[in-house]
Amino acid sequence: MDTGGTSQRERYRAQVHAEIKRHAWEQLATTGVCALSLNAIAKCMGMSGPALYRYFASRDELITALIRDAYRSLADTVRAAFDSGADVSGLAHAIRTWAFDDPHRYFLIYGTPVPGYHAPEETKKISFEIMTVLITVHTAVSPRTSATPFDAHLENHRQWAGDHPAPPAALHWALSFWTRLHGALSLELAGHFAGMEFDPALLFEDELNDLLAR
């Protein structure tokens, strides 16, 4: 059996996949995801449109690959920070650094949804990994002693914790952390704080400190 030939074809296919995605990210940075064009990518690569479609059958399939890569990168970043002993503040700053390293990647998963596109369940599962870390690290944060109506709503929530559901207060805290973190990040990255004459990094820090005091 010519296993060497098969391996070479697989390596070539992986290289082409990577190059297609590289050109796709370049397109996203200049024209946005809604204008993503496989034919334009094929032209940049010196390929025909039909040839490129052998690697990605549709625009949505390529978008899914980009979203999967983005979520995987962020989930790995959060996990690496957690495994290195980062506290809640360290996790928050790891996420902020990741976002500023590539704002277009950030907005692909946390920006305006792509019209007509629906992400598959596999990408949602990767995003849940991030929430699982936040819920775990909450054990180092003093939880609230008083329950809220939203806590009661989360009483039987198992989506992020498998067979061992976290306390509602931990789920609530993780959601609060996530929404306030991304609220500040999204506004800053989109330039909405421009001209307001304050330091967005200090606002981010203040929001984080307020969450830690809860």
Kind and range of the H or E element at 40?
helix 38-44
Report the alpha-carbon angle 29-128-177, nearest 5.
Answer: 80
CATH number of the domain enclosing 169: 1.10.357.10
The 10 Å Cβ neighbour count of residue 101 is 11
Q: How many CB atoms lie within 10 A of CB 175?
A: 16
Q: pLDDT tens digit string along 189-203? A: 999 999 899 999 999
Query: Can you give the pLDDT at residue 91?
Result: 93
Do 159 and 83 lie in one domain? The reply is yes
**pLDDT of amino acid 146:** 52
pTM for the whole thing?
0.85
Separation between Cα atoms, residue 56 and residue 33, nearest integer Å? 16
Show the low-confidence residues of the chain (pLDDT under 70).
1-6, 139-147, 156-165, 214
Q: Looking at the domain assignment, is residue 78 inside a domain?
A: yes
Q: Which residue has the tokens 């559901």?
A: 165
Q: What are phi and psi of 211, to 5 degrees?
A: -65, -40
Q: Is residue 163 part of a domain?
A: yes
121 shares its domain with 48: no
Q: How far is CA 43 from CA 46, 62, 75, 108, 109, in A?
A: 5, 16, 33, 23, 26
Measured in whole angstroms, the distance separating CA 67 from the mean position of its chain's CA atoms is 8
How would DSSP label each residue in 13-30? Answer: HHHHHHHHHHHHHHHHHH
Domain that holds residue 3: 1-57
Looking at the fold, whether 44 and 143 belong to one and the same domain comes out as no
Give the DSSP letter of residue 33: G
Instruction: Examine the fold and report which residue of 57, 81, 98 is the final residue of a domain before the chain moves on.
Output: 57
Q: Does residue 92 share a domain with residue 44?
A: no
Domain identity same for 147 and 116: yes
User: Does 36 reside within a domain?
Assistant: yes
Asked whether residue 23 falls in the same domain as residue 107, the answer is: no
Structural domains of the chain, count: 2
Q: Write the CATH number for 32.
A: 1.10.10
Taking a C-beta distance cutoff of 8 angstroms, is the pair 187, 193 a contact?
yes
